[in-house]
Amino acid sequence: WREDLAPGAVVLRGFALPLVPALLAGVEAVTAGAPFRHLVTPGGQTMSVAMSNTGSLGWVSDRRGYRYDATDPQTGRPWPAMPAAFAELALDAARESGFDGFTPQACLINRYAIGARLSLHQDKDELDYDHPIVSVSLGLPAVFLFGGFERSDKQVRIPIAHGDVVVWGGPSRLRYHGVLPIKPGSHPLLGETRINLTFRKVR
């Protein structure tokens, strides 16, 4: 159930399954206070993925740029506190992959409808690349594009299912990556939706 993709990048198949009910309850609670929204990129494109955040910091984008902010710009309030099950899963998955003491400040919640995608990018808005990013997938399956350190490097496709957790650390922390358009389908718990939680230590 554990697959090493590359140095620092580990897939833990089904690792989140025991916590799914708590995670879904957490997503409901968080997004009641900080609703999903489609952010605009600095280039003016509206993202197909809808986003929210939980924790002491949240990732936001607008025409001015990308950044982490303690306040939800849409509500003017702090982001909802991180549910205990979220923090516990992130810590356990990181430890299982060789990263001890992972205490993320931010969890970005991505919601994909059918056809939604994330184009190739690097996650480099954090100030500390020594900590991994932990990603938890729920609902409809996805295909990750896992690239190299240059945008033009060849990518491999990694199928990801409900309950899978991926830890992206060490030299894989800064690889280019993306998510292919979600294929039509229906998941027993989430219907025509994929949810991804990404835990980040920002600073």
- What is d(CA 16, CA 11) in angstroms, rounded to the nearest whole number? 11
Q: If phi over 0 gives left and psi between -120 and 50 gives alpha, with beta otherwise, what is residue 98?
A: left
Site string for ligand MD5, 44-83 (x = CB under 6 A): ----------------------------------------
For residue 163, give Cα distances in angstroms to 39, 52, 141.
26, 20, 10
CB of 86 to ligand MD5, least distance (A): 15
**Helix, coil or strand: residue 95:** helix
Kindly indicate which of the ranges 39-47, 99-107, 173-181, 183-191 contains the residues binding ligand MD5, using the contact rule CB under 6 A: 173-181
Kindly indicate which of the ranges 25-33, 60-68, 92-100, 170-178 contains the residues binding ligand MD5, using the contact rule CB under 6 A: 170-178
Binding partner of 175, given ligand MD5, Fe ion, none, CB within 5-8 angstroms per partner class: ligand MD5
Site for ligand MD5 in 92-111 (CB under 6 A): 108, 110
**Helix, coil or strand: residue 91:** helix
CB of 67 to ligand MD5, least distance (A): 14
Residue with tokens 């909802």, as numbered in its chain: 80
